[in-house]
Amino acid sequence: MKKYIIVSLLAAFFIVGCTDLDEQVYDKIDANEFYDSEIGADAALASVYALIPGNWDGKGLIGADRGYYDLNNMSTDEQVVPHRVTGDWEPDFAWFHKRMWTPGHGFINNAWNWLYDCVFHANLAVELLENANADNEVVAEAKVLRAFFYYLLMDDFGNVPFFTDNNLTVDQIPQKSRAEIFDFIVTELEDNVAFLSEEKGGSYYGRFNKWAGYALLAKVYLNAEVYTGTPKWQECLNACEALEEGGFSLHPAVSDASHPNGNTYFELFGDQCPDDEVILALYIELDVVGRNITTIRSFGGTDGALLFGETVSTWNGTIIPTEFLNQFDDIDIRKRQFRYGSEPFGPRPAGFIVYDPEEDNYIDPGAERDGGARSMKWWPAGTVNGGGASNDFPIYRYADMLLMKAECLVQQNKAGEAKPFVDQVRERAGLDALNADPTLEDIYNERSKELSLEGHKRQDMIRFGTFTKAHGEDENGDPIVPAVDSHYELFPIPTAAIDANPSLQQNTGY
């Protein structure tokens, strides 16, 4: 049902956007009257939402590859696509993992261009809806979407070009400080989230309702000290508690022989995200709206046909660094998201590839063909082919909010109050409750395991002070990824952006 609803919403945009130049017009409708109607409001919003799933060429939140997701995840300790001794894969992904990027790197340019395309369309939606005096709810949704994109820009790039009026040339757009962007985002969210719908699922699956708005506000406040130098722990806690009215809970985790990963926990990452826990999902329908490549890109070539269907070719790409894999206890159900060894989790048809989890070379000469554990958190669901699968992607979920609440409480010297929130997440994973009140390190480690590969790790590493530290160990005992200075906590502004607007100031160190 949700597939039909979302496709219909997006279809409203595509239908309105098509023009036959030879068509004879017999009737027309005033633009303000149109955007004040239900179909017009849907079209304005759909023009923005259609950009989020992304596709090839590095476009979208997770896109196909070489865009925002890879920029923010390959640069952490949780995954990497290595160059291989067989000649597969360019070294770019490994360069990001080893923090060797430059302002001219394509991934950076792709993410920047996608985000500003989203800002432009969000500005247009706000303008059309405001001019039409549309309902507060739809205007608020457009403004929250715009705040979301500026939040992603501020998080990655710091001081960025800022505009809410599209009638400016590139050289007229001012570069605002990270603190100024932060203030704009907070004001937009505080002023508009209350107007958003409280509806969950149905036509609001994959859209910003009130609960998703509060989750975004909580994320912004969680990282306030990084953005502005001033922590906002209580404000983050308040936003987390506001979304409690949405009635969220942890999705059940019980053994399930019918699921390839063996547990109902992994329903969170299937064709449709369950709304008991998932607050905001990224809707994906392969070859219609976006694509999810996380597992297709990870598994080796012959495993695709064996495990997912004879027409499915997999890419032998993403691996899980050994050090990251080893943090999971064997009894932790979340460890089932990784495939490695001669007795792997998941199906074992004759001829399956045995992946060696001990892989420590990513560039020169590169990884072995079958080196590195593989990701199957998003076991391909729905429509599947060699271009990806239709698994939806959880942007915000309740487990994240529980751990955010715990972090805020520990930061306020209330670790005793934080313990039940951490224990809920641990016990759902099959682990014992903590034997003492949680420390910040406990929370960091739990976030690392619970939210792996979901796009939160770079923020977490920066906030907890681990992003610039060395990690991994090669056969000589040296770090695979050496320590760096703090300027790497921001990506550089792309060379192409500075060429287009020479008044832009590059981030320090680049």
User: Quick one: pLDDT at residue 435?
Assistant: 98
User: Quick one: pLDDT at residue 1?
Assistant: 40
Per-position pLDDT tens, the chain of length 510: 444 334 445 444 433 333 343 444 434 567 788 888 889 999 999 999 999 998 888 999 997 899 999 999 999 999 999 999 999 999 999 999 999 999 999 999 999 999 999 999 999 999 999 999 999 999 999 999 999 999 999 999 999 999 999 999 998 999 999 999 999 999 999 999 999 999 999 999 999 999 999 999 999 999 999 999 999 999 999 999 999 999 999 999 999 999 999 999 999 999 999 999 999 999 999 999 999 999 999 999 999 999 999 989 999 999 999 999 999 999 999 999 999 999 999 999 999 999 999 999 999 999 999 999 999 999 999 999 999 999 999 999 999 999 999 999 999 999 999 999 999 999 999 999 999 999 999 999 999 999 999 999 999 999 999 999 999 999 999 999 999 999 999 999 999 999 999 999 999 999
Backbone region of residue 198 per phi and psi (left: phi > 0; alpha: psi in -120 to 50; beta: other values)? alpha
- Burial class for 29, CB neighbours closer than 10 Å (0-12, 13-18, 19+): exposed
User: Quick one: pLDDT at residue 36?
Assistant: 82
User: Quick one: pLDDT at residue 29?
Assistant: 64
Beta-carbon contacts of residue 237 (< 8 Å; ≥ 6 apart): 405, 408, 409, 412
Q: Where are the domains of the chain?
A: 2-19+27-286+394-500
Q: Which two tokens stand for residue 232?
A: 């906002």
Backbone region of residue 170 per phi and psi (left: phi > 0; alpha: psi in -120 to 50; beta: other values)? alpha
| Residue type (1 letter), 65 | D
- Burial class for 387, CB neighbours closer than 10 Å (0-12, 13-18, 19+): middle
What is the DSSP code (8-state) at residue 394?
Answer: E
Q: CA-based angle 161:165:166, to the nearest 5?
A: 85
User: Quick one: pLDDT at residue 23?
Assistant: 45
Beta-carbon contacts of residue 332 (< 8 Å; ≥ 6 apart): 429, 430, 431, 449
Spatial contact of 355 and 344, defined as CB atoms under 8 Å apart:
yes
Architecture of 2-19+27-286+394-500 per CATH?
Alpha Horseshoe (1.25)
Residue 276: how many other CB atoms lie within 10 Å? 16
What is the DSSP code (8-state) at residue 86?
Answer: T
Nearest to 307 by CA among 317, 295, 320, 323: 295
Read out DSSP for 124-188? HHHHHHHHTT--HHHHHHHHHHHHHHHHHHHHHHSSEE--S-S-S-GGGPPEEPHHHHHHHHHHH
What would the 3-class secondary structure string for 294-313 be?
CCCCCCCHHHHHHHHCCCCC
Q: What is the mean pLDDT of the chain?
A: 94
* 3-class DSSP assignment, residue 426: helix
| Residue type (1 letter), 367 | A
User: Quick one: pLDDT at residue 32?
Assistant: 82
Is the bond into 420 cis (omega within 30 degrees of 0)? Answer: no
